[in-house]
Amino acid sequence: MPTALITGITGQDGSYLAEHLLDLGHEVVGVVRHSSSEPPPRIEHLRDRIELAGADLFDQTSLLNVIDRYQPDEVYNLAAQSFVPASWQQPILTGEVTGLGVTRLLEAVRLSRPEARVYQASSSEMFGKVHEVPQTERTPFYPRSPYGVAKLYGHWIAVNYRESYGMHVCSGILFNHESPRRSTEFVSRKISYRVAQIKHGLAHELRLGNLDARRDWGYAPDYVRAMALMLQQPEPRDYVVASGETHAVREFCELAFATAGLDWTDFVISDPALLRPADVDLLVGDATLARTELGWEPTVSFRELVRLMVEADLALVETEVGRGLAPPASIPRR
Ligand code: NDP
Ligand code: GDR
């Protein structure tokens, strides 16, 4: 049984990837940073099937210790400060974790388990102000946020360790992928959760920033399958993973409200305070390489994604209301 070590296991993707690797018969070790609250909700249901190890992408020794102790066959680096607006508020932290943290992890692997296969979570945010449409593995990068810049560093250091040391390192350039496990600060879940609150009479409006931004949105469980497939290839390389469709935030709103029988124009307010210092206007990926080499295919369309997220939040809010746990009628503004 191969052993897979996942950093960022408490995040959206980490929880789905852990489930997928367990289904494939892997032993799973999850890296968690110290926290004053537990258990981490997204992996609560997996607690008796996975091992958790304490380490932090800030801390070289802790990473070396976990690699040394578990000698993983596969390492998935999903940990990051991943919220783009927070990267302007905390640019140095973002650079340390999302950027330099990749080097710390690669150093730990190089020193203790150089034959391990490594997956680096790269991002379509690296394309930023796009040089071509659609974006492929060969499209030049132009990041537009401290997060995007940090991810670009992580991407190139992954390529560099592959070329310098012959390590088996793959970088997955994943476009936006969402699910009911997404945090409510990201626009998809912010919308779906608020739609559910409005439907249950717990809120009356939804304040958003840039409604014209276009994203290539997919379903997170589909995207973690691509991560695992990359590490099964004989030769390491980088792959774009995307649906190939682009939609505006306003389309997401329209569909989400319609799913609950509501008209989005009655509730959505465009708030200039929520605009970013610089935004990424248009993303759409070409995943031809992933489709042909990995045999990867997404199973959930944009319309299905919006519907399943709204339906999940309608059920969640109904349960919360039923238990007297109705959350306050506000969610993070950014
Ligand atoms: P999340 O924000 O949901 O999860 C981030 C994870 O990183 C959490 O488990 C968090 O732990 C952990 N983490 C943060 N800081 C540290 C640290 N200093 N040391 C150790 N762990 C840390 O992200 P997603 O699951 O959505 O994304 C996974 C990865 O993929 C990220 O790297 C993201 O940047 C990248 N990505 C995501 C895309 C998407 O659309 N979702 C698209 C492209 C790339 P804690 O729970 O303790 O906060
Ligand atoms: P993104 O995702 O920045 O693409 O990064 P997010 O959902 O935060 O924003 C997508 C687009 O929606 C616009 N937008 C808003 N965004 C948020 N969060 N809140 C709002 O109120 C709002 N109104 C409009 C944004 O301006 C943006 O254009 C995600 C993260 O998961 C990254 O870690 C990952 O690398 C990329 O996707 C690919």
DSSP string, 275-321: --SS---B--B--HHIIIII-------HHHHHHHHHHHHHHHHHHHH
The pairing of strands 168-174 and 239-241 is: parallel
pLDDT of residue 38: 74
Note the pLDDT tens digit of each residue in 55-86. 999 999 999 999 999 999 999 999 999 999 99
Note the pLDDT tens digit of each residue in 217-245. 999 999 999 999 999 999 999 999 999 99
This prediction has a pTM of: 0.97
DSSP string across 238-289: -EEE--S--EEHHHHHHHHHHHTT--GGGTEEE-GGG--SS---B--B--HH
Q: Which residues are catalytic?
A: 123, 125, 147
The answer for residues whose C-beta is within 8 angstroms of residue 133's C-beta and 6 or more apart is 282, 284
Q: How confident is the model at residue 328 (pLDDT cuts 50, 70, 90)?
A: low
Q: How confident is the model at residue 333 (pLDDT cuts 50, 70, 90)?
A: very low
Note the pLDDT tens digit of each residue in 98-119. 999 999 999 999 999 999 999 9
CA–centroid distance, residue 34 to ligand 1 (Å): 15
Domain range 3-178+219-241, its CATH number among 3.30.930.10, 3.40.50.720, 2.40.50.140, 3.30.1360.30: 3.40.50.720
Q: Is the CB of 152 under 6 A from ligand 2?
A: no
Tokens for 161, please give them.
């360790």
Q: Is the CB of 80 under 6 A from ligand 1?
A: yes
Domain boundaries, the chain: 3-178+219-241, 187-215+245-282+300-322
Percent of the chain at pLDDT exceeding 90: 94
Query: What does the CA dihedral 167, 168, 169, 170 come to, rounded to 10 degrees?
Result: 160
246 alpha carbon, closest ligand: 2
Distance, in Å, from the CA atom of 153 to the CA atom of 86, rounded to the nearest integer, reads: 18
User: So what CATH class is 187-215+245-282+300-322?
Assistant: alpha beta
Note the pLDDT tens digit of each residue in 183-217. 999 999 999 999 999 999 999 999 999 999 999 99
Q: Is the CB of 307 under 6 A from ligand 2?
A: no
Which residue from 117, 101, 80, 98 is spatially nearest to 230, judged by alpha carbons? 117
Note the pLDDT tens digit of each residue in 294-316. 999 999 999 999 999 999 999 99
pLDDT of residue 95: 98
CA–centroid distance, residue 84 to ligand 2 (Å): 7
CA–centroid distance, residue 261 to ligand 1 (Å): 33
